Chain A
């Protein structure tokens, strides 16, 4: 671990990613506690005002403070990102382990199901799931979680298959170590690298999917803000009050960018082939 950190320190691009992600995390966890205004409070005599000393990012059509809403939105985005990737990663890890380790028909069944899920475009699948379950924050997270399961399953399965053939696994099995012990004690720790990289990359994808779903009115329900729903509401005012659109958009871009930078540099660091 300390080696990863020291290598990250040397990787300038990765460092930018790390700092960016840390800032977003701080913003999400502490931001809403210190915002100058209540994000849902309507200052009705100050609707559609541009950025000023009292409202740093301006106000929306209800007179709500955009800065406070962006901060609150960061929390929603991170929350959705973490939980939904958590769901996807857990399911994907288990399925991938089982499929990769046992192979044969189990592998076939699991992977064909994953192929079916994989065949649908992310947003379409998430939309369908949310449409069936009904729009709410929880269902959005479940939907995104399911959408991300196949990616994790594939990543983990591929890693398991290559690790499984290694000598220490063969020797563990030959001295009679129980199967579940082999899977969780010996195989799992050795496939973590690609898995972690996938998590960072999926986080940005999940945040983006949440924004898209909220943009379509199927994610988080008003008046609770999310970056996506703020963008959606801003569409009508794009020309008269561009700040309503610009700030959430900037934050989406920066967040996604930082998560991707971190993911890319982690992949480079953790890839044994590149290290040699």
Chain B
């Protein structure tokens, strides 16, 4: 009996030792892994830019995935025909030039000698395939509505392609320059079924690997069409969802670059190894009303609330001063934006607000609910501040914090009274106006319908003269502020925190991450 026990214990011991060893092996592996990251292949590692990404990418298909955590990765792998420079002016990318023989025809001449990362030549056939893929219902591309007016695409030669539109469509070139209109390779799509897990483009960086919940790594495209670019050997996007984790990582040098919210900026500024690079984003925070529901169906009520909002406080308290007043088109959109500081409804005026409520028949105020997302501290803070501001004109609002998925559902279904959120205005004013506020706009979840706005957005789409277009959108913005289906609050600054050995990198609203010239000084 005791012998048996002895043998059994011996066996157990052996098993335990083996288990311990195998454990060691496993952790040894990962050690080796991280070893090779930091110093193993020393030459490559020296110029590997490590970035703390605040979300795991949601897939890599440039035609389908709108998530920022994905865009920042696939925009480095793919190119579009055109692009924007930091002043929001169109610039050639894969198309070296373009012409417009008449209002509804565009001809692009492609750059010669551009190859995909798999070595295949990029030709007009690929461009045609990419746009057809976007327009195909089955792809369910987020860019489909950008190109609804495209009637046919003709390949004229391997380097010339013609787009025929059904009618004049002013935002066309802006949308061609969108990252979502990336040129992909038909062969790669067919080989892989879709582009969610693979990425083969013509951009400055090649996709290497994606370790789920860990990192995505890109490497330098040696054959990039811009001579001598990029300078880096690669980029690694490491998923770090927690702000404090990103702060710690950038402080210790575990990553070279990351994003932080305004609250953490003073901490980064104190560290002399870090540079804080801010830029005015194309986002703005807003209060949306469900104009189908009482009392928000009454314009006077909405205007009264606009007067009750103290936008300066939103700027100072929620964004610690790092934001500017915004209309429907934020200031970073350059010439399209209007100066809203003198707008009557932007003046904080409690008396007038109360008077408007009396005129609307709500002299005793009313009760309502503000819905917002618990995921974003800035939204909760905005909601709390507004709740307190509304109280001054007798509006008693409860706050409902929703989990992100629930919030999106609520936003879509119009099942809300007041909603606090943040929008991005994209690159063309068409998005800021018709996408969100025209009667059939796909993001008009407010039940809002206004003939003037509808006719202005239609006119904006069909007017190609820039100055006239600007006047149209100026008028539309004033009308939106006056009818107030949303209250546009402030456009926040965004911040990149960069280790100070990273050189030649300047973020801007339109190009927050251009690393083509960036180097890491040792």
Q: Is A40 an interface residue, CB under 8 A from the partner? A: yes
Q: Which residue of A lies closest to B378 (CB)?
A: A236
- Residues of chain A within 8 A (CB-CB) of B384 are 62, 222-223
Asked if residues B263 and A240 are in contact (CB atoms below 8 Å), the reply is yes
Complex: A233 Cα to B374 Cα, angstroms: 11
Choose, from B276-284, B357-365, B399-407, the stretch at the interface: B399-407
Q: Is B381 an interface residue, CB under 8 A from the partner? A: yes
- Residues of chain B within 8 A (CB-CB) of A222 are 380, 383-384, 387, 399, 401
Q: Is A131 an interface residue, CB under 8 A from the partner? A: yes
Asked if residues A221 and B243 are in contact (CB atoms below 8 Å), the reply is no
Q: How far apart are A83's CB and chain B's nearest CB, in angstroms?
A: 20
Q: How far apart are A229's CB and chain B's nearest CB, in angstroms?
A: 10
Q: How far apart are B404's CB and chain A's nearest CB, in angstroms?
A: 11
Q: Is A242 an interface residue, CB under 8 A from the partner? A: no
Given B261, B313, B385, B400, which contacts A236 in the complex, CB threshold below 8 Å? B261
Asked if residues A44 and B316 are in contact (CB atoms below 8 Å), the reply is yes
Q: How far apart are A185's CB and chain B's nearest CB, in angstroms?
A: 46
Interface core residue of B243, B316, B384, B399 (most chain A CB under 10 Å): B384
Q: How far apart are A70's CB and chain B's nearest CB, in angstroms?
A: 18
Complex: A153 Cα to B380 Cα, angstroms: 39
**In residues 367-411 of chain B, which contact A (Cβ within 8 Å)?**
374, 377, 380-381, 383-385, 387-388, 398-401, 403
**In residues 25-80 of chain A, which contact B (Cβ within 8 Å)?**
40, 42, 44, 47, 61-63
Q: Which residue of B lies closest to A216 (CB)?
A: B374
Q: Which residue of A lies closest to B381 (CB)?
A: A61
Q: How far apart are B389's CB and chain A's nearest CB, in angstroms?
A: 9
Interface core residue of B261, B374, B383, B387 (most chain A CB under 10 Å): B374
Asked if residues A42 and B377 are in contact (CB atoms below 8 Å), the reply is no
Q: Is A238 an interface residue, CB under 8 A from the partner? A: yes
Q: How far apart are A149's CB and chain B's nearest CB, in angstroms?
A: 25
Asked if residues B400 and A221 are in contact (CB atoms below 8 Å), the reply is yes
Asked if residues A235 and B244 are in contact (CB atoms below 8 Å), the reply is yes
Complex: A240 Cα to B244 Cα, angstroms: 13
Interface size on A, residues (CB 8 A): 21
Q: Which residue of A lies closest to B261 (CB)?
A: A236
Complex: A238 Cα to B261 Cα, angstroms: 14
- Residues of chain A within 8 A (CB-CB) of B374 are 217-218
- Residues of chain A within 8 A (CB-CB) of B212 are none
Complex: A62 Cα to B377 Cα, angstroms: 13
Known A-B contacts A44-B313, A62-B384, A223-B387; A236 and B243 likewise in contact (beta carbons under 8 Å)? yes
Known A-B contacts A42-B385, A222-B384; A236 and B263 likewise in contact (beta carbons under 8 Å)? yes
Number of A-B contacts (CB under 8 A): 52
Asked if residues A221 and B313 are in contact (CB atoms below 8 Å), the reply is no
Asked if residues A131 and B267 are in contact (CB atoms below 8 Å), the reply is no
Q: How far apart are B60's CB and chain A's nearest CB, in angstroms?
A: 30
Given A62, A135, A233, which contacts B317 in the complex, CB threshold below 8 Å? A62
- Residues of chain B within 8 A (CB-CB) of A61 are 263, 317, 381
- Residues of chain A within 8 A (CB-CB) of B334 are none
Q: Which residue of A lies closest to B312 (CB)?
A: A44
Q: How far apart are A137's CB and chain B's nearest CB, in angstroms?
A: 11
Asked if residues A236 and B377 are in contact (CB atoms below 8 Å), the reply is yes
Asked if residues A240 and B266 are in contact (CB atoms below 8 Å), the reply is yes
Q: Is B264 an interface residue, CB under 8 A from the partner? A: yes
Q: How far apart are B297's CB and chain A's nearest CB, in angstroms?
A: 25
- Residues of chain A within 8 A (CB-CB) of B380 are 217, 222
Asked if residues B266 and A135 are in contact (CB atoms below 8 Å), the reply is no
Known A-B contacts A61-B381, A62-B317; A221 and B261 likewise in contact (beta carbons under 8 Å)? no
Q: How far apart are B342's CB and chain A's nearest CB, in angstroms?
A: 24
Q: Which residue of A lies closest to B387 (CB)?
A: A223
Q: Is A102 an interface residue, CB under 8 A from the partner? A: no
Complex: A44 Cα to B312 Cα, angstroms: 11
Q: Is A239 an interface residue, CB under 8 A from the partner? A: yes
Q: Is A184 an interface residue, CB under 8 A from the partner? A: no
Known A-B contacts A62-B317, A217-B374; A42 and B399 likewise in contact (beta carbons under 8 Å)? no
Asked if residues B398 and A221 are in contact (CB atoms below 8 Å), the reply is yes
Given B263, B388, B398, which contacts A42 in the complex, CB threshold below 8 Å? B388
Q: How far apart are A235's CB and chain B's nearest CB, in angstroms?
A: 7
Given A44, A217, A235, A240, which contacts B401 in the complex, CB threshold below 8 Å? A217
Q: How far apart are A19's CB and chain B's nearest CB, in angstroms?
A: 36
Known A-B contacts A217-B374, A223-B387, A223-B388; A44 and B263 likewise in contact (beta carbons under 8 Å)? no
Q: Is A237 an interface residue, CB under 8 A from the partner? A: yes
Complex: A274 Cα to B243 Cα, angstroms: 51
Q: Which residue of B lies closest to A42 (CB)?
A: B388
- Residues of chain A within 8 A (CB-CB) of B313 are 44
Q: Which residue of B lies closest to A223 (CB)?
A: B384
Asked if residues B398 and A236 are in contact (CB atoms below 8 Å), the reply is no
Complex: A235 Cα to B385 Cα, angstroms: 19
Asked if residues B401 and A221 are in contact (CB atoms below 8 Å), the reply is yes
Q: How far apart are A76's CB and chain B's nearest CB, in angstroms?
A: 15
Complex: A56 Cα to B365 Cα, angstroms: 35
Q: Which residue of B lies closest to A63 (CB)?
A: B317
Given B243, B266, B317, which contacts A47 in the complex, CB threshold below 8 Å? B317
Complex: A186 Cα to B216 Cα, angstroms: 69
Q: How far apart are B175's CB and chain A's nearest CB, in angstroms?
A: 37
Given B317, B377, B381, B403, which contacts A131 in the complex, CB threshold below 8 Å? B403
Q: How far apart are B56's CB and chain A's nearest CB, in angstroms?
A: 20
**In residues 465-515 of chain B, which contact A (Cβ within 8 Å)?**
none
- Residues of chain B within 8 A (CB-CB) of A47 are 317
Show the binding face of B for A, using Cβ within 8 Å.
243-244, 261, 263-264, 266-267, 313, 316-317, 374, 377, 380-381, 383-385, 387-388, 398-401, 403
13 sample A-B contacts, Cβ–Cβ < 8 Å, listed by A number: A44-B313, A61-B263, A62-B317, A131-B403, A217-B401, A217-B403, A221-B400, A222-B387, A223-B384, A233-B377, A236-B243, A236-B263, A240-B266
Known A61-B381, A222-B401, A240-B266; further 19 A-B contacts with Cβ < 8 A = A42-B385, A44-B313, A44-B316, A44-B317, A62-B317, A62-B384, A62-B385, A135-B401, A217-B374, A217-B380, A217-B401, A221-B401, A222-B380, A222-B383, A222-B387, A236-B261, A238-B244, A240-B263, A240-B267
